[in-house]
């Protein structure tokens, strides 16, 4: 179950990136579950990672490798998170890096490992090392649909986005894939995201744009409020277009940043549309805040409330649940008379109480749609923030109750 068509548009190849997806039978025989990305020499990589204290072995190893040398390969597996596995988990992740590095003729430190799946089970490294050679032999420049499927877990459909724009007299490409459906409140830093561009950038710029773009996308979504042990979002600049970001005019730099952020947002919102059991895609807009933090506090209080989310599933305009979420968000000296709440354009709360003229029929008409917005005005300042969430359905409980069966 998911919201929207999920049809992927044209996914453009990115110069300097090759990819492959193969089956290692980690959880289910024949299922694509190992993905390899090859990055051309000279590529620059930045990334943001989970803030969960129990971060998985591959996350730890990934950060160690990035600190030592420029990445040449990403090695991604699904079906097993290799989290909560201690030193044996680190050894398993390292052995996978070693196997790919040996087969590719590079240093093992230039291989970044990523895992997603069941937590607390040791990675079956032998299954992965047995197929890295096959993955390398199948590398190609345009298998985005296949590799997007290859990183799925409880996802019902692949997630990818791509765009091109003209900068410095050249065509610049941005293409990315992501996975995630449950245990979603990335807070980068279970979600993984990989975005690639052929623009040339230095390491500081790539890292800054990775964080900036993630903050406005993957760090603005929530399915269930749980932050995974394995969240990672990577940005790679191969430089194969021959265009240097630093040499662009300020206006063109902003064009690129906007296009990059749009790809990040497309990927992040695709995760919400495919949230486990989701039937509603909900945009939460909070405006009139005194700070970004308090806008996000209100947004997440609404977006993570089980009572709000179950009401959304039922198309029940129980506006008191939204009002209560705003009230418990932790804002100091909140002036209730200034609060206004709308479902799309339907005002349900004004001056801290039910809006004059509001009807249950009007509220239900909005919530009966597959996509709508909850708009909150705090009347405390000029800051606004947007985040995205979905409803809680019976299927969410079923999927997670049966996750390991």
* Active site amino acids: 190
Burial of 361 (0-12, 13-18, 19+ CB in 10 A): exposed
Instruction: Report CA 90 to chain centroid distance, whole Å.
Output: 24
Q: DSSP for 31-100?
A: ---EEEEEE-TT-EEEEEE---TT--HHHHHHHHHHTTS---EEEEEEEE---S-HHHHHHHHHHHHHHH
**How many Cβ atoms are within 10 Å of 33's Cβ, its own excluded?**
29
| Count of H-run helices and E-run strands, the chain | 12, 16
10 three-state secondary structure: coil
Q: Which of 380, 173, 214 is nearest to 288 (CA)?
A: 380
Rounded distance between C-alpha atoms, residue 361 and residue 350, angstroms: 18
Q: What are the Cα distances from residue 377, in Å, to 23, 220, 269, 301, 342?
A: 49, 18, 23, 15, 9
């Amino acid at each position: 179950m998911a919201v929207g068509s999920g049809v992927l548009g044209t996914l453009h190849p990115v110069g300097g990136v090759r990819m492959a997806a193969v089956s290692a039978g980690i959880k289910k025989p024949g299922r694509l579950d190992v993905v390899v990305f090859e990055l051309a020499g000279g590529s620059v990589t930045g990334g943001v990672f989970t803030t969960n204290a129990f971060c998985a072995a591959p996350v730890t190893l990934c950060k160690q490798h990035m600190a030592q040398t420029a990445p040449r390969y990403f090695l991604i597996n699904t079906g097993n998170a290799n989290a909560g596995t201690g030193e044996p988990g680190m050894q398993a992740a390292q052995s996978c890096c070693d196997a790919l590095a040996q087969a590719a003729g590079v240093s093992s430190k230039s291989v970044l490992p990523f895992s997603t799946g069941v937590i607390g089970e040791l990675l079956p490294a032998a299954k992965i090392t047995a197929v890295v050679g096959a993955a390398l032999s199948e590398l190609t420049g345009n298998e985005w649909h296949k590799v997007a499927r290859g990183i799925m877990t409880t996802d019902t459909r692949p997630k990818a986005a791509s765009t091109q724009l003209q900068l410095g007299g050249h065509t610049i490409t941005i293409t990315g894939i992501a996975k995630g459906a449950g245990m979603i409140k990335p807070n980068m830093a279970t979600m993984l995201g990989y975005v690639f561009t052929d623009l040339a950038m230095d390491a500081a710029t790539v890292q800054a744009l990775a964080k900036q773009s993630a903050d406005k996308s993957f760090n603005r979504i929530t399915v269930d409020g749980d932050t995974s042990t394995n969240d990672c979002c990577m940005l790679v600049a191969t430089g194969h277009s021959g265009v240097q970001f630093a040499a662009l005019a300020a206006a063109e730099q902003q064009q690129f940043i906007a296009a990059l952020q749009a790809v990040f947002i497309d990927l992040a919102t695709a995760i919400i549309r495919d949230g486990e059991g989701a039937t509603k895609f909900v945009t939460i807009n909070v405006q009139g805040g005194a700070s970004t933090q308090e806008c996000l506090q209100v947004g997440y209080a609404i977006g993570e409330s089980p009572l709000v989310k179950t009401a959304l599933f039922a198309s029940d305009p129980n506006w008191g649940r939204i009002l209560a979420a705003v009230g418990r968000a932790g804002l100091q000296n909140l002036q209730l008379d200034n609060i206004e709440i709308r479902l799309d354009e339907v005002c349900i709360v004004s001056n801290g109480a039910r809006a004059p003229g509001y009807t249950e029929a009007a509220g239900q008409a909005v919530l009966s749609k597959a996509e709508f917005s909850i708009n909150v005005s705090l009347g405390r300042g000029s800051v606004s923030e947007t985040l995205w969430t979905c409803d809680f359905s019976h299927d969410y409980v079923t999927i997670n109750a049966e996750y390991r069966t």
